[in-house]
A = this chain, B = another copy of it.
Amino acid sequence: MPSVKEAVKVDNKQKAKSSGGSAGGAGHSKEFLVQLYKDMILYRRFEERVHVAYTTRRKFAGFCHLHIGQEAVAAGVQHALRPTDYVIGAYRSHTQAIAKGITPNEVMAELFGKVGGCVRGKGGSMHMFSKEKRFLGGHGIVGGQVPLAAGVGFAIKYRGEQDVCVCYLGDAATNQGQFFEALNMAATWKLPVLFIIENNRYGMGTDIHRTTSIDHLWKRALAFDMAHSQVDGLNVLNIVDAVRSTCDAIRKDNHPHLMEIMTYRYRGHSVSDPGAYRTKEEVAEYQAKDPMNMHGKFLVASKLATEADLAKWDEEAKKIAEEAENFADQSPPPGEDEIWKDVYAD
């Protein structure tokens, strides 16, 4: 079982091992372990479909940031949360939205700028929301969602509720002033927020180590004596276990936590990025230890699934993605009256 390193216990040398493979699985039901795989493959196939819809079929334009390679984070984190927990993210959030319960149909229709989208075509790729599901966006300003998450944590505590607010951010967002300001407030006021850095090693084309002086991003927490940890994100069960025990601690002790999940994206920063800043070998190296594939192998090795099961689930995922595209295709564009709606609330 992976252990969550807490503030004081953290150790410089104790780096996340990017071994790949699913660590253990102890304590998880077969159903649960299978569901994790199904989720990951759905996210993968969904994003692949999005990619083709954007590039080949030109169904929409603008920025389109895919989560391919990082699905284990969306799947693993979500399964560790309660339905009433809040999730807020940045602009690479299609899969986070689906994980939180927005349907693939609604996400795809949103991408296509259609009225069937989760925000009726007004937000697009970077701005998915669902009040009902407690998915608070989808934000386009790097770091901008971090103070918002502190505010959600503030409200949870204000009302004496037991929820946690999970805030996703990228590695490069840890260079933003408001990230620090938010962490300071969360630590000072002991707000129930789990800040998750999805460290995919790059902010656009820039290796994170070229824009900061530290080796590990959890060190940001040291400036606030904040609990923190580093998690191997190539192992989906690591993520589930780490997030679960961390959220338990947050609920129990009422304090925030900064978690650095080591992950990797296979595609460009956005669909239009050729990715010249890294080698094909580097990408291939990570793909060789793909968390979804590793988890599939683990299921087969543990006799929890057969190769045929995996193939079937893959087909099911493709089907859902296809249906989402059909739904999005058939959904009409928003009416012109939408332009002047929602500028002000009554």
Contact = CB atoms under 8 A, between A and B. Distances in A.
A257 B88 CA distance: 35
- Number of this chain's copies in the assembly equals 2
Contact of A184 (B213, B221, B226): B213
Interface of A: 175-181, 184, 187-188, 210-215, 219-226
Given A176-B177, A214-B224, 20 more contacts: A175-B184, A177-B177, A177-B180, A177-B181, A180-B180, A180-B181, A180-B223, A184-B213, A188-B210, A188-B211, A188-B212, A188-B213, A214-B223, A214-B225, A219-B222, A219-B223, A219-B225, A220-B223, A221-B223, A222-B222
Given A187-B213, A213-B226, A177 B178 contact: yes
Contact of A181 (B175, B214, B219): B175
A219 B213 CA distance: 15
Nearest to A223: B223
A220 B225 CA distance: 10
6 contacts: A176-B177, A177-B177, A177-B179, A184-B213, A214-B223, A219-B223
Nearest to A186: B213
A176 B181 contact: yes
Nearest to A218: B223
Contacts of A223: 180, 214, 219-223
A101 to B, nearest CB: 33
A210 B188 CA distance: 7
Contacts of A213: 184, 187-188, 224-226
Nearest to A209: B188
A181 B184 CA distance: 14
Contacts of A179: 177
Q: Most chain-B Cβ atoms within 10 A of its Cβ — which of A180, A221, A225?
A: A180
A225 B213 CA distance: 7
A58 to B, nearest CB: 39
A187 B184 CA distance: 20
A211 B185 CA distance: 7
Q: Most chain-B Cβ atoms within 10 A of its Cβ — which of A211, A213, A222?
A: A213
Contacts of A214: 223-225
A91 B179 CA distance: 26
Nearest to A175: B184
A323 B18 CA distance: 71
A226 to B, nearest CB: 7
A181 B220 CA distance: 12
A192 to B, nearest CB: 15
A114 B322 CA distance: 75
A215 B224 CA distance: 9
A227 to B, nearest CB: 11
Contacts of A215: 225
Contact of A212 (B220, B221, B224): B224
Contacts of A180: 177, 180-181, 223
Nearest to A181: B177
Q: Most chain-B Cβ atoms within 10 A of its Cβ — which of A210, A219, A224?
A: A224
A170 to B, nearest CB: 15
